Chain A
Amino acid sequence: AQTVTQSQPEMSVQEAETVTLSCTYDTSESDYYLFWYKQPPSRQMILVIRQEAYKQQNATENRFSVNFQKAAKSFSLKISDSQLGDAAMYFCAPPSGNTPLVFGKGTRLSVIA
């Protein structure tokens, strides 16, 4: 079974600054997708970004990008030019062979004006 570790329970960032959220995982699969989801206070889970494990290039979605290191099984999320609306819980989720998604414990991100 896959395990996912998000080592930063809480983080804060100044508005307009950059922050990186870390995620490591364990898997025996060779071809898979990894996801970062955001859960704002409304509790609605929203996909932030997706990375295909077989792709060398790191995924980018506007201000959000990942640093994917397959050999190290590391999948960090970088948020540039942080905005107040980025404040939320962020969950790393690589899919496992048994379940659609296995989530980390999450990182609570605060954005300071």
Chain B
Amino acid sequence: KAGVTQTPRYLIKTRGQQVTLSCSPISGHRSVSWYQQTPGQGLQFLFEYFSETQRNKGNFPGRFSGRQFSNSRSEMNVSTLELGDSALYLCASSPGDRNNEQFFGPGTRLTVL
């Protein structure tokens, strides 16, 4: 099976812009989770989608949003970018059971100037 893919791998944006990141899970996986990784805050959970519905949400402002399509692919959107949004954004998929291993994509490196 192909692994989790994320596009684009690298992005450079300026403050105030918006950005959309994409994640394609492993075939058959229904859960997609997003994480933000920064040197200061470490790995933080953004949200999880399961069968096109947001199942869990972390403690991030409303500028961060996401969605999941019927083929389980997911997108994450960040509006009105701030310098502090510069981070590695990781996507992970799993079959959906809470105790399943999560399979991670390579990440999207977002730089906000």
Asked whether any CB of chain A lies closer than 8 Å to the CB of B31, the reply is yes
- In the complex formed, the residue of B with least CB distance to A99 is B45
1/0 per residue, CB under 8 A from B, across A78-113: the answer is: 000000000000010001001111111110000000
Query: Which DSSP category, helix, strand, loop or mixed, fits chain A's interface?
Result: loop
Are A101 and B33 touching (Cβ within 8 A)?
A: yes
Q: For the complex, what is the distance from the CA of A24 to the CA of B101, rounded to whole Å?
A: 20
Are A100 and B45 touching (Cβ within 8 A)?
A: yes
Q: A43-B107, A91-B43, A95-B99 are in contact. Are A100 and B31 (CB under 8 A)?
A: yes
Contact of A99 among B58, B106, B107 (CB under 8 A): B58
Query: Which DSSP category, helix, strand, loop or mixed, fits chain B's interface?
Result: strand
Number of interface residues of B (CB under 8 A): 21
Interface residues of B (CB under 8 A from A): 31, 33, 35, 42-43, 45, 48, 56, 58, 88, 90, 92, 94, 98-99, 101-104, 106-107
Interface residues of A (CB under 8 A from B): 32-33, 35, 37, 42-47, 50, 52, 91, 95, 98-106
Closest 4 CB pairs of A and B: A45-B104, A103-B43, A99-B45, A33-B99
